[in-house]
Chain A
Amino acid sequence: MSTAAPAAPATGNEQRPPPRPGAIAGRWSAPRTLLGLGVALMVVAIIAAGRGAVPIAPGDVLRTLLHGIGFGSDTDVPDSAQRVLWHLRFPRVALAIVAGAALAVSGAALQGLFRNPLADPTLIGVSFGAAAGAATMIVLGHHIALPAWFSRTWLLPAGAFTGGLLATGLAYLLSAVSRDRGVAALLLAGIAVNAAASALLGLYSHIADDAQLRNISFWNLGSLGAASPSTLGVVALIALPATLGLLKIAPQLNALALGEAAAQHLGVNVRRLKTISVILIAACVGAVTAVTGVIVFVGLVVPHALRFVLGPDHRWLMPAAAVGGAALVTLADLTARTLLAPAELPIGIVTAFIGVPFFAALLIHSGRRLGP
């Protein structure tokens, strides 16, 4: 979220004198914030695409991109740079954008669903389920006979995606057969499933050899290193429609803040809302995690930070989280692959390092303003 900082002071100050009707003290204008985040995302994305072993000027990046979508000419950009951009950098930045948007929107939706600003997609089991699925493939994958059409490189993502969906499905079923059947039951079921998935993960770590162990722990810290046009395509195909679906349930999530009974009284079918949200969140987080590994903190910190400045209305919060999350993950990935170049840091370490201080600052700042 530190990417939003350049745009922040402008939108923040413009609102004070005179207070226009509808302006809320301490809140930023939602359309301007969204615009600011969008600009920040574009800047970060273009810089990110230019940085790396082969440096490419932002102007060249922009020209190549514009030409690719049918505008202008890229004749003065070297062929080698164009190849690097289209085969490596653009897929990687695009994957960062899709991953960040999907994770942040999932986080916002889950916080709305659980009526708790501290909820995180991990809670419905999808992340640890995916981690257990990935570990299964890392440790036991070589025993699996594959059909000729299925490339072995897809084994791990497929296992992770399946693991994430299985864990969430299990948590959901547990909550659905419980007497209460409410959102709280889902939370408890998610905790149970998470515990089981962590135990499985521990078991694999125990029987894994050194190389496998390293793979498991690296995977649990996340990386966009697997980005390619094909992985991007698969992730986008699943995560983008699911993200858009989550944006559509924003008004219902607002009503749910009043409580499950009150939302029901407002015509929201809470059970269906719960089912739809869980499926879409599992699809988002499952698809992203399958390719990138576990990227912590994005789903928690991005919506939370934006809620401080925009207020909790999901109709603005979720689109802003999509853009903000995309910017954060793009920036985090840029940092991860350039900070210790040519070595690459796991992105989860970077998101935590960026996220924690920013989060702490917001917490201290908001403590004064929001009261209880």
Chain B
Amino acid sequence: MTLAAHAASFHADRRALVSGVTLTVAPGELVALLGPNGAGKSTLLKLLAGDVAPSAGRVTLDEAPIGAIKSRHLARHRAVLRQDLALPFAFTAAEVVHMGRLPHRGTADERDDARIVSDALGLLDAGHLAHRLYPTLSGGEQQRVQLARALAQLWLPDHAARYLLLDEPTSNLDLVHQHQALTVARSFARERGIGVLVILHDVALAVRHADRLALLKGGRLIASGSVDQVIETTSLADCFEMDFRMADFGAAGRVPVAIPRASVTGS
């Protein structure tokens, strides 16, 4: 049971945005996808979400080709948070989170909708925003509400595996809420057996919260493995064309710190 890309490529206007990527996300693990701008991270996430069909290779959800899964069934088993957070109408935060329950409409789970909405908001420290109008929230508050919406979609156990795909869910968040969002995502993965793929820019954040790292550059997967495996190699430096030094914070763990190459003369 995995969400997997098998040698998947995606071409647009004859340009390869993703080339031959093989990557799996298993239930219960958090995989951080890292890479410079234009590396194809969002395109790979779209492939795994089933938004676009691969130009070559395959994408499967629990061994079934993702394109063949009915959209409502798919929506009960995978949730996606993309970067577009704007809403044209003044829904309340609670109403936005409730939209995450749409795939479960008409099922027995629908009874729990109200509780799920308030629990999901509470989990992201956004309970007090429930009755605020979404357009009046700050960018960070909107992002937490949208993340709660994605969590609400996968809240209740299902007989099949579930996957959560997050495209830079921390881009608008302050430092505390960045860690909180990823802590929530990781406990969501562990406790509920949900496979989480998250695109991040902050390497330290990824190292601290992920089970595995996947590094993408120029549309190709240049490294993938456990956090310890990946940070012991030169992959991070190759990927970002920056040097990394490991900073040891004792109990708080070892965290790679990026150093611009121009300033590290003679290293």
Interface residues, chain A, CB within 8 Å of chain B? Answer: 22-25, 115-117, 251-252, 254-255, 257-259, 261-262, 264-269, 307, 311-313, 370-372
Q: In chain A, what residue has the closest Cβ to B149?
A: A258
Knowing A312-B90, A371-B136, the reply to whether A269 touches B71 (Cβ < 8 A) is yes
Knowing A117-B89, A257-B88, A262-B84, the reply to whether A267 touches B103 (Cβ < 8 A) is yes
**Measured CA separation A59–B194 after assembly (Å):** 65
Q: Is the CB of B131 within 8 A of A25?
A: yes
Collect the chain B residues with CB atoms within 8 Å of residue A255's CB. Answer: 99, 102
Number of interface residues of B (CB under 8 A): 33
Q: Is the CB of B80 within 8 A of A265?
A: yes
Which B120-136 residues have C-beta < 8 A from chain A? Answer: 131, 133, 135-136
A-B contact pairs, 27 of them (CB 8 A): A24-B92, A24-B133, A25-B131, A251-B105, A255-B99, A255-B102, A258-B99, A259-B84, A259-B86, A261-B51, A261-B82, A261-B84, A264-B71, A265-B51, A265-B79, A266-B75, A266-B153, A267-B76, A268-B102, A307-B90, A311-B90, A311-B91, A311-B92, A312-B91, A313-B91, A313-B95, A372-B136
**Measured CA separation A124–B41 after assembly (Å):** 37
**New contact pairs (14) apart from A258-B99, A267-B74, CB-CB < 8 Å:** A22-B131, A25-B131, A116-B88, A117-B88, A254-B91, A259-B86, A262-B82, A265-B49, A266-B102, A266-B103, A266-B153, A307-B89, A312-B91, A372-B135
Collect the chain B residues with CB atoms within 8 Å of residue A370's CB. Answer: 90, 133, 135-136
A113 to chain B, nearest CB (A): 11
**Measured CA separation A269–B71 after assembly (Å):** 7
B96 interfacial contact with A, CB 8 Å = yes
B52 to chain A, nearest CB (A): 10
Q: Is the CB of B75 within 8 A of A24?
A: no
Partner of A312, one of B74, B82, B89, B102: B89
**Measured CA separation A261–B90 after assembly (Å):** 19
Collect the chain A residues with CB atoms within 8 Å of residue B79's CB. Answer: 265
**Measured CA separation A269–B73 after assembly (Å):** 12
**Measured CA separation A153–B153 after assembly (Å):** 54
Collect the chain B residues with CB atoms within 8 Å of residue A254's CB. Answer: 91, 95, 99, 102
B117 to chain A, nearest CB (A): 11
Interface residues, chain B, CB within 8 Å of chain A? Answer: 49, 51, 71-76, 78-80, 82, 84, 86-92, 95-96, 99-100, 102-103, 105, 131, 133, 135-136, 149, 153
A45 to chain B, nearest CB (A): 30
Tell which of B51, B71, B87 has the most Cβ of chain A within 10 Å. Answer: B71
The 4 closest A-B pairs by CB, nearest first: A267-B75, A312-B89, A267-B72, A267-B103
**Measured CA separation A371–B135 after assembly (Å):** 8
Collect the chain A residues with CB atoms within 8 Å of residue B89's CB. Answer: 115, 117, 257, 307, 312
Collect the chain A residues with CB atoms within 8 Å of residue B80's CB. Answer: 261-262, 265
Partner of A257, one of B82, B87, B131: B87
Q: In chain A, what residue has the closest Cβ to B98?
A: A254
**Measured CA separation A158–B84 after assembly (Å):** 44
**Measured CA separation A265–B163 after assembly (Å):** 12
**Measured CA separation A307–B88 after assembly (Å):** 12
Partner of A264, one of B51, B133, B149: B51
Q: Is the CB of A258 within 8 A of B96?
A: yes
Tell which of B49, B82, B99, B136 has the most Cβ of chain A within 10 Å. Answer: B99
**Measured CA separation A141–B131 after assembly (Å):** 57
**Measured CA separation A24–B82 after assembly (Å):** 27
**Measured CA separation A365–B131 after assembly (Å):** 20
**Measured CA separation A252–B75 after assembly (Å):** 13
Collect the chain A residues with CB atoms within 8 Å of residue B96's CB. Answer: 258
Q: In chain B, what residue has the closest Cβ to A272?
A: B71
**Measured CA separation A266–B96 after assembly (Å):** 12
Collect the chain A residues with CB atoms within 8 Å of residue B78's CB. Answer: 265
Q: In chain B, what residue has the closest Cβ to A112?
A: B89
Tell which of A116, A259, A312 has the most Cβ of chain B within 10 Å. Answer: A312
Q: In chain A, what residue has the closest Cβ to B79?
A: A265
**Measured CA separation A115–B89 after assembly (Å):** 8
Q: Is the CB of B71 within 8 A of A268?
A: yes
Tell which of A24, A269, A371 has the most Cβ of chain B within 10 Å. Answer: A24
B25 to chain A, nearest CB (A): 16
Q: In chain A, what residue has the closest Cβ to B95?
A: A313
Q: In chain B, what residue has the closest Cβ to A254?
A: B99
Tell which of B87, B102, B103, B131 has the most Cβ of chain A within 10 Å. Answer: B102
**Measured CA separation A264–B72 after assembly (Å):** 9
